[in-house]
Chains A and B, each alone.
Chain A
Amino acid sequence: MSRQVLGLGNDVVNIQRFRNILVHHGINSSYVKRLTQRILNERHEYPRFASLLPKGISGEISGDKIDSSTLHRCCQILAGSWASKEALFKSLDPHHQKHFVFKNWYKWNDENGKPNIQIDRSVAPSDNMTEDQFMLSISHDGDMLIATVLRIGNVELPDR
C-alpha cells in the first residue's frame, strides 16, 4: 500500500454570477433558498450564509434589503463553496463523480484562514471517498475566484 496523488482538479468562477442570481431573484426568495441549499452543506455552510440574510423584527428572514458588503460576503461564500466542490469533483475518478453530491461536502477555514474541504459524515456515512485526503487552495483577484483540489489516497502496489 502506498500513498499517492490520485487526482487534481480546478475551477474558476466569477463572483458576479452569484451576485446576479441573488439580486435578480431576491436574496430571500424561495429560488435563492433552493439554489443555495443545493450547493451549500446544511450543517456546516448554510447556517453561515443564512446568518447574513436580512432579518425581520422577530428574527425571521424577511425582506430583500441587504448592504453591498453583506451581499458580497454572501456571494463569496457561495462562489468559494461552488468552485471548491467543482474542483474536487474534477479530481475524482468517473465512478466517484457519479455519486458526488455537492451539499454532502463542506469547505471550512482553519484558525490561520487556510481553506479545507471534507465530506459531512453525518449525511454520507458510507461514502468510500472519505478514505482519500483532499487538499484545497483558493485564490481571488477582484471578482474572479479560483479553487484547486489535490486528491491523495492509498493505492495497492503490484506484487514484484
Chain B
Amino acid sequence: MFSRALSRYAFSMATRRAAIASPRIGMMASVKSYATLPEDQVSKRIIDVVKSFDKVNSTAPITSTTNFITDLGLDSLDTVEVLVAIEEEFDIEIEDKDADEIKTVGQAIDYIVKNPDAN
C-alpha cells in the first residue's frame, strides 16, 4: 500500500499539487475511507486534473457542464487519459460501462461523490 501511494505521488501531477495544497490527502492515501467525499472538494480536484492536460486551455472556465469533447476539444484518446487521471487522483477504478457515461465534468463529479471507495 505504501509503495502504491508513493508511486501515485511520483506520477500524478494533480495528486502532487493537491497534496501540497492539503496535507490531509497525503495521509488519506494510505487509509481507506468509506465515507463519500464532499462535492466541493471533488469538484476542485477534478477541475485541477482536467486543467493539468496540455490540450486544455488553463485560463478557460471549467464548470460542471463542461463537456470533454464538445467544449474542451478532446478526442476519444484524450478522454480516456482524463478518466485514468481521475482514477489515479481518487485511487479508484471506473468500470468501462460507467466510463462511457462520463462525458462532462459534472458527470465525473457525480460519479466520484457517489463512490464510497474514492479517496
Please give the residue numbers on chain A whose beta carbons come within 8 Å of chain B beta carbons, in ascending order.
13, 17, 21, 25-26, 29-31, 34-35, 38-39, 82, 86, 98, 101-103
| B76–A86 touching, CB < 8 Å | yes
Given contacts A17-B77, A38-B84, contact A31 B100 (CB under 8 A): no
Q: Looking at the complex, which of B6-14, B25-33, B37-45, B60-68 is the stretch in contact with chain A? A: B6-14
Nearest A residue (CB) for B95: A101
Compute how far the CA of A86 lies from the CA of B93 in the bound complex, rounded to whole angstroms.
Answer: 22
| B96–A31 touching, CB < 8 Å | no
Q: Is B81 an interface residue (CB 8 A)?
A: yes
**Contact count band on B:** 20 to 34
| A25–B80 touching, CB < 8 Å | no
Is chain B's interface secondary structure helix, strand, loop, or mixed overall?
A: helix
| A35–B96 touching, CB < 8 Å | no
Q: Is B113 an interface residue (CB 8 A)?
A: no
Nearest B residue (CB) for A79: B77
Q: Is B71 an interface residue (CB 8 A)?
A: no
Compute how far the CA of A35 lies from the CA of B100 in the bound complex, rounded to whole angstroms.
Answer: 15
In the complex, which of the residues B77, B85, B93, B97 contacts A31, with contact meaning CB atoms closer than 8 Å? B85
| A29–B7 touching, CB < 8 Å | yes
Shortest beta-carbon contacts, A-B, top 7: A29-B11, A101-B96, A35-B84, A34-B84, A31-B11, A25-B11, A30-B7
| A82–B85 touching, CB < 8 Å | no
Chain B nearest CB from A130 CB (Å) reads 18
Chain A nearest CB from B9 CB (Å) reads 11
| B8–A30 touching, CB < 8 Å | yes
Q: Please give, as numbers and ranges, the residues of chain A lying within 8 Å of B17 by CB-CB distance.
A: none
Compute how far the CA of A102 lies from the CA of B96 in the bound complex, rounded to whole angstroms.
Answer: 8
| B12–A31 touching, CB < 8 Å | yes
Q: Please give, as numbers and ranges, the residues of chain B lying within 8 Å of A29 by CB-CB distance.
A: 7, 10-11
Q: Please give, as numbers and ranges, the residues of chain A lying within 8 Å of B8 by CB-CB distance.
A: 30
Q: Please give, as numbers and ranges, the residues of chain B lying within 8 Å of A31 by CB-CB distance.
A: 11-12, 84-85, 88
